Chain A
Amino acid sequence: TQLLEQSPQFLSIQEGENLTVYCNSSSVFSSLQWYRQEPGEGPVLLVTVVTGGEVKKLKRLTFQFGDARKDSSLHITAAQPGDTGLYLCAGARNNFNKFYFGSGTKLNVKP
């Protein structure tokens, strides 16, 4: 059983559409990170959130950390083919160096 559950597992949309992916847990996290991974490469960090209720924006990407620090969401506005990839959330609990990764959301944006 994964400590962090991500949904949906797969998402295929047209260019220009909006989407939201979710990262949920019954555990509280001291910090949460979002990564994007492309085929044949390692994950690349997008953002870190540490405060309950925190919202961070990265161009067309909006990240939110739940008030109780148990969940997070990633919203993409006007998706582009370059957004295609595997999106992973990772949370750290008491051990700030040990991150638990979710199973990921595989996003495909069609031109």
Chain B
Amino acid sequence: DAGVIQSPRHEVTEMGQEVTLRCKPISGHDYLFWYRQTMMRGLELLIYFNNNVPIDDSGMPEDRFSAKMPNASFSTLKIQPSEPRDSAVYFCASSSRGGDQPQHFGDGTRLSIL
């Protein structure tokens, strides 16, 4: 299996620009999670989906952040407009059946907002 695939691996952009991060979960997994990792706050859950439906978005920091899952094999996390404090590594993870099933993480997108 190919694992969770995230793109791009690195993104550098200027403040105010729109940023779109992409994720392809493992085929057959019903749950998809978006996380953000920083030195200060560690790994934080932003939002998760079950069967393409957003279930809990309480971790999304502001209205500037939005996430979609148009089908079972694709999800996006968008930041518009971006700010320097959004700089972090963003991870996507997927799992089958949720619960205590393992979450399989992608290798992340390192985002730098100048």
Q: List the A residue with the shortest CB-CB distance to B99.
A: A96
Residues of chain B lying within 8 A (CB to CB) of residue A97: 31, 48, 50, 55-56, 98-99
Type the 1/0 row for B34-55, where 1 means its CB is closer than 8 Å to any CB of A. 0100000011110010100001
| Pairwise interchain contact B105-A44, C-beta atoms closer than 8 A | yes
Q: A-B pairs with CB below 8 Å: how many? A: 58
Interface size on A, residues (CB 8 A): 24
Is residue B103 contacting chain A, with contact meaning CB distance below 8 A?
A: yes
Is residue B108 contacting chain A, with contact meaning CB distance below 8 A?
A: yes
Q: List the A residue with the shortest CB-CB distance to B105.
A: A42
How far apart are the CA atoms of A96 and B101 in the complex, in Å? 10
How far apart are the CA atoms of A40 and B31 in the complex, in Å? 23
Chain B contacts with A in 8-64, Cβ cutoff 8 A: 31, 35, 42-45, 48, 50, 55-56
Is residue A45 contacting chain B, with contact meaning CB distance below 8 A?
A: yes
Interface size on B, residues (CB 8 A): 23
Whether A42 touches B31, Cβ cut-off 8 Å, given contacts A96-B99, A98-B48, A104-B42, is no
How far apart are the CA atoms of A35 and B11 in the complex, in Å? 26
| Pairwise interchain contact B100-A95, C-beta atoms closer than 8 A | no
Is residue A7 contacting chain B, with contact meaning CB distance below 8 A?
A: no
| Pairwise interchain contact B43-A88, C-beta atoms closer than 8 A | yes
How far apart are the CA atoms of A100 and B108 in the complex, in Å? 18
Interface residues of A (CB under 8 A from B): 2, 31, 33, 40-45, 48, 50, 88, 90, 92, 95-104
Question: What are 23 A-B contacts defined by CB distance under 8 Å?
Answer: A33-B100, A40-B107, A42-B4, A42-B93, A42-B107, A42-B108, A43-B43, A44-B105, A45-B102, A45-B104, A48-B100, A88-B43, A92-B99, A96-B99, A97-B31, A98-B45, A98-B48, A100-B45, A101-B35, A101-B43, A102-B42, A104-B42, A104-B43
Given A40-B108, A88-B43, A97-B50, 13 additional A-B pairs, CB 8 A: A41-B105, A42-B4, A42-B93, A42-B105, A44-B105, A45-B102, A48-B100, A95-B56, A96-B98, A97-B48, A97-B55, A97-B56, A99-B103
